[in-house]
Amino acid sequence: MSSHETTGDTLDSPAETDTTTAPDIESTPSSGAERGGEWWRTAVIYQVYPRSFADADGDGVGDLPGITSRLDALADLGVDAVWLSPFYTSPQHDAGYDVADYVDVDPLFGTLDDFDALRARATELGLRLIVDLVPNHTSSEHAWFRAAVAAAPGSAERARYMFRDGTGPDGDLPPNNWQSVFGGPAWTRLVEPDGRPGQWYLHLFDTSQPDLDWTNPLVRSDFVDVLRFWLDRGVDGFRVDVAHGMIKADGLPDYTPPADAGSMGGGETADATPPYWAQDGVHEIYREWHQVLAEYPGDRVMVAEAWVEPLSKLAKWVRPDEMQQAFNFAYLETGWSATAIRRVVDQSIETFSSVGAPSTWVLSNHDVVRHASRLALTAENPQGHGIGPKSAGLPIAELGLARARAASAVMLALPGSAYLYQGEELGLPEAVDLPDESRQDPTWFRTEGERYGRDGCRVPIPWESGAPAFGFSATGASWLPQPEDWSTYARDEQQGVAGSTLELYRSALALRAEHELGAAHLTWVEGYDASVVAFRSGGVTVVANTGEVAVELPVGDVLLSTMALDGPALPPNAAVWLASVDDVG
Ligand code: NOJ
């Protein structure tokens, strides 16, 4: 631990602006749980992407026994909970987000017994467990869809899905102009059982992911059964996929998204609500689910994957009788700019507080370019919805890693709940140079290679530098090829090494817990240049430099630093946590 003082007047006595507001809680959650007991309000939740975490059977795809065998590494890291992306029965056309049986484990990942063993090990380690729920669509191999295809138009079986007659002279044009999030039309025409071209079905994602009709009471009751199945098996909650998409506007009107709409959002912007996203009807569904979760002991949680803008609209998903959390994608999409970071933090705390919910924070997941690459993309490709060898403005690895470490240090000091994506604690970059023939994301195929898609953030993670597949699988098999230089990122290369990204995360999580930063009150520290993020929270002062010149640091013992410091100056693209002046000797 080092200590230093600054000489700058403004910085020695920083002014503080309290821009956060006290929660304005409209009503009490029906769970009846004490607010203080609601673990998810401050939790750090680690996303495990099962196919890429650890492979116990050596087939090159990660599995549940692999996860169980490596869970102690997550407890050691200091996270509170694990979220598992889908491991259910699935033909894997969208890496498991195409579910053919919601209440069983795909043999690729193991068995229900393997799930129970994982659950038990997590409990021993004090880790909560959240699973993914994919309610907007099923796989086209789900028994419900097979039955719908075999049945006649207008049948009860078809009524589970969004089947419509086509337009045009012979019904050979789709019912409307909607486009799939993965590219291409959002409608596919069936060949009816008698061999003739027939009705069309809606799929906001791949053709193999038909959308369910959530106005159908049968669909609703089936999903309540699914919730109960996993709650009975002891899960602490659900991450709800496409939680903004289940209800479509009456009449399914045509819609053309603005050119600047993000790819995962599929057309949602602050100014426009497409007829397939963010329809009011979705909230009724979550109110019912809230009641189901409340029947179970403990604090069960739902987190919405809802690409909804602006944050004030997203706050509807986390009203006291709906979900507990929503991913803060506005934060994820904020670039490396102090002004933008301050703005989004203020807006997030204010907006989520206004409905009594904690803000969440997230920088990476399995759908976006890893932040160790994304934060160093250039103006030519500012968000990088999938990058590959031919993308414009590819990131400089060292710059990306420096910014990622600093951004993570800022995130982990913020009040609320933070989500980590497997491998970010190793500083993994996006795997840019994947050979075309190894790519598997439906986006790559549906856009005929125009969009690289998400494979680059899904490459199996490295555990041991000298082992086959860097310890991911004993046989060396890996469903996506791992870049050769990933040996340097392997966990065993970083464990116990001062200054490594792994140790940075471990220290940040330990300090976050010690200073109770998840429940603390954030106050901005003024007096810095516009390129600096500076705040105090829970006895810690955080300073991050997004600019191009070093900045003077205030007085305080250094608790954490993302770069080696040479005196009281913070280099560009770095962040520190200092013991706040008031708390020093
Ligand atoms: C969001 C998931 O995170 C993504 O991976 C998936 O492709 C879509 N929803 C469709 O389920």
The alpha carbon of 530 and the centre of ligand 1 are apart by a number of angstroms equal to 36
**Residue 280 per-residue DSSP state:** T
Residue 577 lies in a domain: no
Residue written as token pair 């799939």 = 180
Q: How many structural domains does the chain have?
A: 2
pLDDT exceeds 60 at position 8: no
Which atom of ligand 1 has the smallest separation from the CA of 98? 11
> Over pLDDT 70: what percentage of the chain?
91
Residue 526 lies in a domain: no
The alpha carbon of 436 and the centre of ligand 1 are apart by a number of angstroms equal to 21
Which atom of ligand 1 has the smallest separation from the CA of 85? 3
Least confident of 32-46, 82-96, 203-217, 566-580: 32-46
341-346 average pLDDT score: 98
Residue 529 lies in a domain: no
3-state SS class at 145: helix
Of 20 and 180, the structure prediction assigns the larger pLDDT to 180
Are 368 and 230 contained in the same domain? yes
**Residue 519 per-residue DSSP state:** G
| pLDDT score at 2 | 39
Are 176 and 67 contained in the same domain? no
pLDDT digits over 218-244, tens only?
999 999 999 999 999 999 999 999 999
| pLDDT score at 19 | 39
70-90 average pLDDT score: 98
Which atom of ligand 1 has the smallest separation from the CA of 182? 7
Closest CA to 418 of 334, 463, 346, 361: 361
The runs of H, that is alpha helices, within 329-415 are 329-332, 338-353, 371-374, 397-411
| Residue that terminates a domain, selected from 179, 202, 225 | 202
- Using pLDDT thresholds of 50, 70 and 90, give the confidence band for residue 37: confident
* Distance of alpha carbon 117 from alpha carbon 452, whole angstroms: 36
Residue 413 lies in a domain: yes
3-state SS class at 275: coil
- CATH of residue 176: 3.90.400.10
- Using pLDDT thresholds of 50, 70 and 90, give the confidence band for residue 193: confident
- CATH of residue 123: 3.20.20.80
Are 161 and 306 contained in the same domain? no
Instruction: Identify the residue whose C-alpha is closest to ligand 1 atom 3.
Output: 367
| pLDDT score at 138 | 99
Are 387 and 450 contained in the same domain? yes
Residue 554 lies in a domain: no
Q: Are residues 392 and 384 in contact, defined by beta-carbon separation less than 8 angstroms?
A: no
Annotation marks residue 241 as catalytic: yes
pLDDT digits over 294-323, tens only?
999 999 999 999 999 999 999 999 999 999
Q: Are residues 77 and 46 in contact, defined by beta-carbon separation less than 8 angstroms?
A: yes
Q: Ligand 1 within 6 A of 133 CB?
A: no
Which atom of ligand 1 has the smallest separation from the CA of 442? 7
Q: Are residues 402 and 547 in contact, defined by beta-carbon separation less than 8 angstroms?
A: no
Instruction: For 293-332, give the secondary structure using H, E and C.
Output: HHCCCCCCEEEECCCCCCHHHHHHHHCCCCCCEECCHHHH
Are 193 and 299 contained in the same domain? no
Residues composing the chain: 585
* Distance of alpha carbon 347 from alpha carbon 62, whole angstroms: 38
Closest CA to 533 of 335, 360, 355: 335
The alpha carbon of 519 and the centre of ligand 1 are apart by a number of angstroms equal to 30
2-25 average pLDDT score: 37
**Which residues have a Cβ under 8 Å from the Cβ of 505 and sit 6 or more positions away?**
77, 78, 408, 412, 420, 424, 425
Residue 197's domain comprises 143-202
Mutation test residue for ligand 1: of 205, 207, 443, the one with most atoms within 8 Å of CB? 205
**Which residues have a Cβ under 8 Å from the Cβ of 455 and sit 6 or more positions away?**
386, 431, 434, 438, 439, 440, 441, 444, 480
| Residue that terminates a domain, selected from 202, 229, 244 | 202
Of 521 and 12, the structure prediction assigns the larger pLDDT to 521
94-106 average pLDDT score: 98
59-68 average pLDDT score: 98
pLDDT digits over 384-426, tens only?
678 999 998 899 999 999 999 999 999 999 999 999 999 999 9
Are 170 and 250 contained in the same domain? no
Q: Please pick, among 24, 116, 254, 295, the residue that the annotation labels catalytic.
A: 295
Are 191 and 115 contained in the same domain? no
Q: Ligand 1 within 6 A of 560 CB?
A: no
**Mean pLDDT of the residues in the chain:** 91
Residue 75 lies in a domain: yes
261-267 average pLDDT score: 54
Please give the distance of CA 143 from its chain centroid, rounded to a whole number.
Answer: 29
Residue 544 lies in a domain: no
**Residue 563 per-residue DSSP state:** S
Closest CA to 460 of 447, 444, 474: 474
| pLDDT score at 206 | 96
Least confident of 31-40, 41-50, 119-128: 31-40
- Using pLDDT thresholds of 50, 70 and 90, give the confidence band for residue 582: low
Q: Are residues 323 and 514 in contact, defined by beta-carbon separation less than 8 angstroms?
A: no
Question: Number of helices (H) and strands (E), helices first, in the chain?
Answer: 14, 22
Q: Is 352 exposed, middle or buried (0-12, 13-18, 19+ CB in 10 A)?
A: buried
| pLDDT score at 23 | 32
Are 71 and 197 contained in the same domain? no
Are 232 and 247 contained in the same domain? yes
Task: Record the tokens describing residue 381, joined without a space.
Answer: 């490709």
Residue type at 583 in one-letter notation? D
Please give the distance of CA 159 from its chain centroid, rounded to a whole number.
Answer: 32
3-state SS class at 8: coil
Q: Are residues 105 and 278 in contact, defined by beta-carbon separation less than 8 angstroms?
A: no
| pLDDT score at 11 | 36
Please give the distance of CA 24 from its chain centroid, rounded to a whole number.
Answer: 27
pLDDT exceeds 60 at position 262: no
pLDDT digits over 502-512, tens only?
999 999 999 99
Instruction: For 428-496, give the secondary structure using H, E and C.
Output: CCCCCCCCHHHCCCHHHHHCCCCCCCCHHHCCCCCCCCCCHHHHCECCCCCCCCCCHHHHHHCHHHHCC
Whole-angstrom CA distances from 67 to 60, 63, 114, 367 are 14, 6, 10, 20
Q: Ligand 1 within 6 A of 329 CB?
A: no
Residue 128 lies in a domain: yes
The alpha carbon of 264 and the centre of ligand 1 are apart by a number of angstroms equal to 8
Are 287 and 259 contained in the same domain? yes
The alpha carbon of 97 and the centre of ligand 1 are apart by a number of angstroms equal to 6
73-80 average pLDDT score: 98
Q: Ligand 1 within 6 A of 305 CB?
A: yes
Are 89 and 120 contained in the same domain? yes
The alpha carbon of 134 and the centre of ligand 1 are apart by a number of angstroms equal to 8
Annotation marks residue 76 as catalytic: no
How many other CB atoms are found less than 10 A from the CB of residue 218? 13
Q: Is 350 exposed, middle or buried (0-12, 13-18, 19+ CB in 10 A)?
A: middle
| pLDDT score at 383 | 63
Concatenated DSSP letters of 247-263: S--TT-------TT--T
Are 38 and 104 contained in the same domain? yes
Residue written as token pair 């700019």 = 337
| Residue that terminates a domain, selected from 178, 202, 226 | 202
The runs of H, that is alpha helices, within 491-555 are 491-494, 501-514
Q: Ligand 1 within 6 A of 88 CB?
A: no
Q: Are residues 170 and 161 in contact, defined by beta-carbon separation less than 8 angstroms?
A: no
